Amino acid sequence: MHPPPALKPALDALAQAMDSRFDRLLAVPEDPRRRLYEAMRHATMDGGKRMRPLLTVAACDLFHVEKERALRVALAIECVHCYSLVHDDLPCMDDDDVRRGKPTVHKAFDEATAVLAGDALLTLAFEVLADEATHDDPRVRLELIQELARASGPAGMVGGQAMDLAAETSTFDLPTTTRLQQLKTGALLAACIEAGAIMGKAGADERQRLRAYAHDLGLAFQIADDLLDAEGSSARTGKAVAKDAAAGKATFVSLLGIERARQQADFLIDQAIGHLSGFGAKADLLRAIARFAIERDH
Amino acid sequence: MHPPPALKPALDALAQAMDSRFDRLLAVPEDPRRRLYEAMRHATMDGGKRMRPLLTVAACDLFHVEKERALRVALAIECVHCYSLVHDDLPCMDDDDVRRGKPTVHKAFDEATAVLAGDALLTLAFEVLADEATHDDPRVRLELIQELARASGPAGMVGGQAMDLAAETSTFDLPTTTRLQQLKTGALLAACIEAGAIMGKAGADERQRLRAYAHDLGLAFQIADDLLDAEGSSARTGKAVAKDAAAGKATFVSLLGIERARQQADFLIDQAIGHLSGFGAKADLLRAIARFAIERDH
């Protein structure tokens, strides 16, 4: 299935905007670092749904943040997302050969270059946010940096990946699986929304409602991913499927069954959209993203 | 040989200060992330000369920066240094089993945990700097973040590591080898000094002289490392030696010979100390560090 009509133009425009910005950020130098930069381009350009940039831009739109600035923040967050995929695909981690229908970075280049390309993208993310082009107010830039660091570090995404490693040798219950997914996937998705609130200097009440939206969306997103993993085919997803089940890891599907997992995802999305009620038509894009999150299969 | 007397108490006090701060920063959580945090502690605590924290604190001292704040900046830079060692030691990189006389992180834990521990330490570095405990002035914190990101990213340390990979398949001349070392080692050492200048809001002239000091020191430091690699023993350095020569990589020693390399290091250190002339007795610690840099062998 393709994204619903309302989302398609936004996703297409964003894909182009991200690629042109990565092209500028990662201009290949004429020196022995060439291969590193080419690996970073391979990891970031022409790929993925750009779900995180879309969320970031949609959240920024709520507060009429200047488009160019919103895209800078989206670029930084996408750097972090792409680095995490490069490291996650490594032989010592998930050992994936294919990502988005292309060879993974360590396959197209080599393992050492993949490690360094990931490290470099993570570092660049903070450089992008710290630049004054991101926002005039230094406190806003610092708040973005703190949010991204927390969401992607040991108390966030990397912590979730560490829990995922632990899941290979112990069986997690539903609360622990939920916590794992909140850290591994939810924290960075939530950071996209939070970044919009920070850029727009949102009030406490608006932030609270956006956090609740991000929380429910993140969980629904992961359940949809598990459903895809259980039901999908490699041809449709562009990556290996049913790996978690094969590894004996607890997923929402293995814990709840397909039917209840689907109901739970639907419930969470309704709830997520409910949290947006105070924002009126400005939040239509965030509503469309929520509906898309559980329908997407590519 | 041991560090000269003037340096010994400073190094001992700093070793303790760093360990107690890492202990607090990396408190082990009672959840499945336990192993990740233990790997981060293994990578950071009870180890190394703490040369970068020492440089940072010495540079901050020039400007009477509050000690606790200087130590926060030192902690952040040491996070980056330690992450780079963890990733550098991986089987796909230098494949080292021993570091500072202890098993490397992927040996004591596993490769996946080592990748994640490095990622987490890099991320934490920026979180530490962004915190208001680092400096009251948000612009100072942002400048620190920009400096650390530049020095450790693809235009700095990671770029140098990528050049080091390229050196395995091509033979570099002296200017390219110098550039490689400036990026791989020099950039982060220079960031320590620059961080002091940023924290102390140094004037343009002071910054220029400190940059010249850092530049010469960094190169001398690397030449001393190459000399150690060529002449040292594993028992004295606590790590495998003569690896670069065995890999056929150009080093300052292979390009210049032992005698000229040693002369060059001596010359650079004299020059580095010369740049400090305007700072008077306040810079005695930086002078002692410079002399230590080419005498150290542990």
pLDDT tens digits for range B18-64? 999 999 999 999 999 999 999 999 999 987 889 999 999 999 999 99
Contacts of A121 (CB under 8 A, 6+ apart): A40, A43, A44, A79, A80, A82, A83, A86
pLDDT at A241: 54
Mutation site, B142, B172, B181, interface A, largest A CB count within 10 A:
B142
Token pair belonging to B132: 């208001």
pLDDT at B81: 98
Task: Please state the length of chain A.
Answer: 298
Q: Among all residues of chain A, which has the CA nearest to that of B29?
A: A155
On whether any CB of chain B is under 8 Å from the CB of A170, the answer is yes
Mutation site, A33, A105, A169, A181, interface B, largest B CB count within 10 A:
A33
Mutation site, A83, A107, A126, interface B, largest B CB count within 10 A:
A126
Token pair belonging to A66: 């200047």
Residues 196-235 of A with CB under 8 A from B: none
Q: How far apart are CA B2 and CA B6, in angstroms?
A: 11
On whether any CB of chain B is under 8 Å from the CB of A28, the answer is no
Contact yes or no for B158 and A36 at CB 8 A: yes
Q: Among all residues of chain A, which has the CA nearest to that of B147?
A: A127
Q: Which residue segments constitute the domains of chain A, with CATH numbers given?
A: 8-293 (1.10.600.10)
Return the minimum-mean-pLDDT range out of A185-199, A228-242, B17-31.
A228-242
**Cα-based torsion angle of the residue sequence A109, B98, B4, B215 in order, rounded to the nearest 10 degrees:** 0
Q: Which helix (H) or strand (E) holds B137?
A: none
In this prediction, residue B293 has a pLDDT band, given cuts at 50, 70 and 90, of confident
Alpha-carbon gap: A195 to the closest alpha carbon of chain B (Å): 15
Q: Among all residues of chain B, which has the CA nearest to that of A171?
A: B32
| Nearest-CB residue to A112 (from B93, B119, B122) | B93
Chain B residues with CB inside 8 Å of A146's CB?
127, 130-131
Nearest to B158 by CA among A38, A121, A108: A121
On whether any CB of chain B is under 8 Å from the CB of A146, the answer is yes
Contact yes or no for B146 and A127 at CB 8 A: yes
Mutation site, B40, B95, B123, B180, interface A, largest A CB count within 10 A:
B123
Contact yes or no for B36 and A162 at CB 8 A: yes
Inter-chain CB pairs, A–B, below 8 Å: 157
In this prediction, residue B7 has a pLDDT band, given cuts at 50, 70 and 90, of confident
Contact yes or no for A36 and B90 at CB 8 A: no
| Residues β-bridged to residue A98 | A103
Q: What b/e sequence results for B107-132 when a residue is b if at least 16 CB atoms lie within 10 Å of its CB, and e otherwise?
A: bbbebbbbbbbbbbbbbbbbbbbbbe
Alpha-carbon gap: A62 to the closest alpha carbon of chain B (Å): 26
In this prediction, residue A298 has a pLDDT band, given cuts at 50, 70 and 90, of very low
pLDDT at B95: 96
Mean predicted confidence (pLDDT) in B278-296: 91
| Nearest-CB residue to B116 (from A110, A111, A162) | A162
Q: Where are the alpha helices (DSSP H) in chain B?
A: 8-25, 34-44, 51-61, 67-88, 105-108, 111-130, 138-152, 157-166, 174-181, 187-199, 204-231, 234-237, 243-246, 252-256, 258-274, 284-293
Q: How far apart are CA A180 and CA A160, in angstroms?
A: 5
Predicted structure pTM score = 0.94
In this prediction, residue A135 has a pLDDT band, given cuts at 50, 70 and 90, of very high
Residues 262-281 of B with CB under 8 A from A: none
| Nearest-CB residue to B123 (from A90, A115, A158) | A158
pLDDT at B49: 86
Q: How far apart are CA A87 and CA B252, in angstroms?
A: 33
**ipTM score assigned to the predicted complex:** 0.94
Q: How far apart are CA B269 and CA A211, in angstroms?
A: 54
**pLDDT at position B172 over 90:** yes
Nearest to A56 by CA among A207, A194, A227, A209: A194
| Nearest-CB residue to B162 (from A35, A124, A167) | A35
Q: Among all residues of chain A, which has the CA nearest to that of B159?
A: A33
